[in-house]
Amino acid sequence: MYRYLLILLLLFTACDSGEKIGVADKGIKDFKVERYMGEWHEVARIDNRFERGLTRVTARYYRDSEGRIRVVNRGWNAEKNKWKEARGWIRTTEVSGRLRVSFFRPFYSDYRVLQVEEDYRYALVGGSRRNYLWILSREEEIPEDLVEEYTEKARELGYEVDRLIFFNK
């Protein structure tokens, strides 16, 4: 039994690639999770294994019947000519803007809302590793000056912004 748990732990550790960056306790001040709920469109991302090849990606945050925060990520896979969907669970933390996300319970990853506009129409979200970064919008497009601002902020925080893939640009 312990051998299987050790193997599972080693596999999970091997899947978590990328260098950690110093945003462990960073997030935006006064983050309001209820205002963050709803649908977000991916404007840009650093490609990752679970979204590779997907376009028209959205993330929809909502509360289920028990009041838990859930997320449904959905993207179009043109090669397979079908939608791919992943459902997850969200936990808030004591750090404003830091969310714990799980698509494979009981394993959670930390994500930070690094910047969000006052009206919660646009957001910059990153992981604890340099290779997880998203620019999100309530609509499919975002003002170019905001893309530049978010990209520069992410660069200053240590994210690999040269690897960003932009959609609808």
- Structural tokens at position 125: 């979200």
- Tokens 């690639």: give the residue: 17
Residue 7 is predicted with a pLDDT of 36
Side-chain half-sphere of 12: how many Cα atoms within 13 Å? 14
- Structural tokens at position 49: 């294994």
Q: CB count, 10 Å around CB of 147?
A: 20
Q: What is the pTM of this model?
A: 0.84
Alpha-carbon distance of 161 to 157, in angstroms, equals 10
Long-range contacts of 83-92 (CB under 8 A, 24+ apart): 84/54, 86/50, 90/61, 92/33
Strand partners, 162: none
Residue 23 is predicted with a pLDDT of 54
Residue 46 is predicted with a pLDDT of 96
Looking at residue 96, its amino acid is S
Q: Tell whether omega for the bond before 106 is within 30 degrees of 0, i.e. cis.
A: yes
Residue 26 is predicted with a pLDDT of 57
Residue 21 is predicted with a pLDDT of 58
- Tokens 């959205």: give the residue: 58
> What is the chain's pLDDT, residue by residue, as a tens digit (169 residues)?
434 333 333 334 344 455 565 555 556 888 999 999 999 999 999 999 889 999 999 999 999 999 999 999 999 999 999 999 999 999 999 999 999 999 988 889 999 999 999 999 999 999 988 889 999 999 988 999 999 999 999 999 999 999 999 987 5
- The residue ranges of DSSP E strands in the chain, in sequence order, are 38-46, 54-63, 69-77, 82-92, 98-104, 107-116, 122-127, 133-137, 164-166
| Contact by Cβ (8 Å): 167, 139 | no
- Structural tokens at position 103: 């698509």
Task: Name all domains of the chain by residue range, CATH numbers in brackets.
Answer: 33-166 (2.40.128.20)
Alpha-carbon distance of 91 to 55, in angstroms, equals 26
